[in-house]
């Protein structure tokens, strides 16, 4: 998809993640914050070569830029991509890792519980705004955390799942208790079908 960019639909109803994530949080997080990143990106790329580039390419092309306008484009393009990925990382449905993903989890972490503990720790220890990620490199799983709008995808790393740890992701429901938000989201809402699809795509 090239510009003008659109706010991608949510894969579930606004209240589908309650009580872990309230419809009120979605009303601000998706309809206000995510929409604002889309709108700002469209304004910034208008009449530039970025308007004809795919979102992923914009993120990768601007990730290391020292130009002030390109830094703004990166921040907004990164946040559009990260939020699209975040919503698809969550589901109210009961999902479980595929056999192939399960083997990779056992090889990298020993168990799914340990993966969950490490992903929660990454989110908890990300100082300030950012993201916690499950990624794969050459078939091997790993955990990463990134600040602000940064994303492992900018470096060509294959992302499987993400959790948003910006305050706007949890403050209405959990106030300052980011670890409680992480425990609930990672324990109850991760979409292992989405993770398995992403893992398979990497080959
Ligand atoms: Fe967010």
Q: For residue 103, report the distance from its CA to the centre of ligand 1, in Å.
A: 31
Tens digits of per-residue pLDDT, 151-188? Answer: 999 999 999 999 999 999 999 999 999 999 999 999 99
Q: How much is the mean pLDDT over the chain? A: 96
Q: For residue 98, report the distance from its CA to the centre of ligand 1, in Å.
A: 28
| Per-residue confidence (pLDDT) for residue 174, from 0 to 100 | 97
| Per-residue confidence (pLDDT) for residue 201, from 0 to 100 | 84
State the Cα angle at 49 between 47 and 54, rounded to 5°: 115
Peptide bond just before 19 cis, omega within 30 deg: yes
| Per-residue confidence (pLDDT) for residue 2, from 0 to 100 | 78
| Per-residue confidence (pLDDT) for residue 11, from 0 to 100 | 98
Q: For residue 23, report the distance from its CA to the centre of ligand 1, in Å.
A: 14
Q: Which residue is associated with the tokens 């955390």?
A: 145
| Per-residue confidence (pLDDT) for residue 183, from 0 to 100 | 97
Q: For residue 114, report the distance from its CA to the centre of ligand 1, in Å.
A: 25
Residues in the chain with pLDDT values less than 70: 1, 203
Q: For residue 179, report the distance from its CA to the centre of ligand 1, in Å.
A: 16
């Amino acid at each position: 998809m090239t510009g003008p960019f659109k706010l991608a639909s949510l894969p579930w109803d606004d209240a589908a993640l309650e009580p872990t994530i309230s419809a009120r949080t979605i009303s601000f997080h998706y309809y206000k914050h995510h929409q604002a990143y889309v709108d700002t990106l469209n304004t910034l790329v208008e009449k530039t070569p970025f308007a004809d580039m795919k979102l992923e390419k914009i993120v990768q092309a601007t990730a290391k830029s020292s130009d002030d306008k390109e830094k703004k484009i990166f921040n907004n393009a990164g946040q559009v991509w990260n939020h699209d990925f975040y919503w698809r990382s969550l589901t109210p449905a009961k999902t479980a890792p595929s056999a192939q993903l399960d083997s990779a989890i056992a090889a990298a972490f020993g168990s799914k519980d340990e993966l969950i503990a490490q992903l929660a720790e990454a989110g908890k220890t990300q100082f300030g705004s950012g993201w916690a990620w499950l990624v794969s490199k050459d078939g091997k799983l790993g955990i990463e955390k990134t600040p602000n709008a940064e994303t492992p995808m900018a470096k060509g790393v294959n992302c499987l799942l993400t959790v948003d740890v910006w305050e706007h992701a949890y403050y209405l429901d959990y106030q300052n208790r980011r670890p409680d938000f992480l425990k609930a989201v990672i324990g109850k809402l991760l979409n292992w079908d989405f993770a398995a699809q992403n893992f398979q795509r990497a080959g």
